[in-house]
Structure 1
């Protein structure tokens, strides 16, 4: 009888641990990252030359709208939308849509997506994605936040919204500098299968 009770207790502990929610992502001030609230993203290494994220022109073209890192400003406000619309906070390693506030000159949605850029010949983060509706038709629109270094976090692309889809998995990092249309625009964000934990911190709009 004691053996049965011990195994029952162990099974309960294992089940409870496996069903526990993932840790909450924290903003720069140590507060829970809230779903659908406005944030900036800023590099966690305190490099004054590394700004936030915005839309950058690539190879003298402003469209399609490419997401990139600005050189000396906070970039654009953005919001995080979890795969579970009832979730109020953003958790590690869970699928989220990322969306810039406002509109863009390419008349596309401001939802991030991973898409192959023919001119750059690599997968690049662009806008024009679809918010919500998780499944095979929107698999390119989902990102995850993982623990990084310097107390910051890193972005990865490895969506879980479609169990039958074959997806690539890797990190989102800054690509090589390319010719841009305007000042204060840095390199685009690209997909990389490198394990380098490129960090960033969140600044919350009070």
Structure 2
């Protein structure tokens, strides 16, 4: 009787534990404005989740999507929020791109589409990266490296996170396990009352993704 009871308790204990090596649930897939899953082989616009108005030194204007601009007349091109329009098309490339889907809380590269080629900085890539050497703030710029995760590319990895009823972009490179302390939201920094630049901030830029 004792042996039977011991066997029963052992079986119950084993059944209540997760199986060794069992697969964890994958993070949720990111959804675009039409309710479809974001894919790595498709171009999208990053647009504000809700239209908003920004006032500069001279006037106010309605803000639109994400585009490229030279701030200070130098290369590489910087990532900015533009006026009135949906901006330039982009692509998202997850660190593990085998299935071609884009998921939240997953390292990915963000790259302006080849259609967004800009002759002002022809020798610089259109892959996003952060510029930790900015004087005012840590801005989002370009000339990053696509793929090749490691210590030499930690400035090139971003993530999409669910935020209220939409999404936000964050800089939090999981490809660098010791870099958790650098995780921060990406928001808008009004640069000298004119350009609205993307930068690491305490207030996230609430966005949605619209198929181009």
Fold shared per TM-score above 0.5: yes
Q: 2:177 aligns with which of 133, 141, 163?
A: 163
Alignment of 1:36 onto 2:41: yes
Please say if residues 140 and 197 of structure 2, whose CA atoms lie closer than 8 Å, have aligned partners that are also in contact: yes
Please say if residues 172 and 179 of structure 2, whose CA atoms lie closer than 8 Å, have aligned partners that are also in contact: no
Larger radius of gyration: 2
Partner SS for 1:46: coil
Q: 1:84 aligns with which of 81, 96, 102?
A: 96
Q: 2:188 aligns with which of 174, 189, 198?
A: 174
Please say if residues 51 and 69 of structure 1, whose CA atoms lie closer than 8 Å, have aligned partners that are also in contact: yes
Relative to structure 1, is the Cα distance of residues 51 and 132 closer, same or farther in structure 2, using a 3 angstrom cutoff?
same
Q: 1:190 aligns with which of 189, 193, 199?
A: 199
Tell me, in whole angstroms, the C-alpha distance in 2 between the residues paired with 1:178 and 1:117.
18
Alignment-derived partner of residue 139 in structure 1 = 154
Tell me, in whole angstroms, the C-alpha distance in 2 between the residues paired with 1:146 and 1:37.
19
Alignment-derived partner of residue 126 in structure 2 = 110
Tell me, in whole angstroms, the C-alpha distance in 1 between the residues paired with 2:127 and 2:91.
9
Partner SS for 1:25: coil
Larger RCO of the pair (alpha carbons < 8 Å, separation 6+): 1
Structure 1 stretches lacking a partner, 5+ long: 181-185
Q: TM-score, normalised by structure 2?
A: 0.83
Moved over 6 A (4+): none
Q: 2:24 aligns with which of 16, 19, 27?
A: 19
- Give CA-to-partner distance per residue, 1:107-135, whole Å, 9 cap, x none: 210000011354x4221100100000001
Structure 2 stretches lacking a partner, 5+ long: 1-6, 54-61
C-alpha displacement at 1:166, in angstroms?
7.1
Please say if residues 159 and 167 of structure 1, whose CA atoms lie closer than 8 Å, have aligned partners that are also in contact: no
Alignment of 1:126 onto 2:148: no
Q: TM-score, normalised by structure 1?
A: 0.85
- Give CA-to-partner distance per residue, 1:16-44, whole Å, 9 cap, x none: 5x711111111111111111310001100
Alignment-derived partner of residue 210 in structure 2 = 203
